[in-house]
Amino acid sequence: MFTKRALWILILSTLTPIVSAAQGLDTKSVDQALGRSGQKTGEVYRIGFPRTDLQVTVAGVPIKPGLALGSWAAFSGSDASAFVMGDLVLLESEVNPVMVKLRAAGFEITAVHNHLLNESPQVLYIHYLGQGSAEELARSLRAALSLSKTPLGAPATPAAASPSSPAFVKTIEDALGRKGQFNGGVLAFGIPRTETITEGGMTLTPPQGVAESINFQEATSGQVATTGDFVLTAEEVNPVISALEQHSIQITALHSHMLTEQPRLFFMHFWAAGETEAVAQGIKAALTHIATK
Domains of the chain: residue spans and CATH: 4-145 (3.30.70), 167-287 (3.30.1460)
Biggest CA–CA distance in the chain, Å, is 58
62: amino acid identity, one letter: P
- β-pair partners for 218: 224
**Digits of tens for pLDDT over the chain (293 positions)?**
445 565 555 545 554 443 333 357 989 999 999 999 999 999 999 999 999 999 999 999 999 999 999 999 999 999 999 999 999 999 999 999 999 999 999 999 999 999 999 999 999 999 999 999 999 999 999 999 999 999 999 887 766 666 789 999 999 999 999 999 999 999 999 999 999 999 988 999 999 999 999 999 999 888 999 999 999 999 999 999 999 999 999 999 999 999 999 999 999 999 999 999 999 999 999 999 999 99
Is the link from the previous residue into 121 a cis peptide, with omega within 30 of 0? Answer: yes
Number of H helices, E strands in the chain: 8, 18
Tell me what pLDDT residue 22 has.
Answer: 33
Tell me what pLDDT residue 263 has.
Answer: 98
Q: Which of 135, 187, 141, 188 is nearest to 165 (CA)?
A: 187
Which DSSP letter does residue 207 get?
G
Tell me what pLDDT residue 277 has.
Answer: 97
Tell me what pLDDT residue 273 has.
Answer: 97
Claim: this prediction has a pTM higher than 0.85: yes
Q: What is the DSSP string of 141-200?
A: HHHHHTTTT---SPPPPPPPPPSS--HHHHHHHHHHTS--EEETTEEEEEE-BSS-EEET
- Give the three-class secondary structure for 277: helix
Q: Are 131 and 83 in contact (CB under 8 A)?
A: yes
Report d(CA 265, CA 69) in Å as an integer.
22
Tell me what pLDDT residue 154 has.
Answer: 86
Q: Which of 43, 37, 40 is nearest to 12 (CA)?
A: 43
CA 63 to chain centre: 16
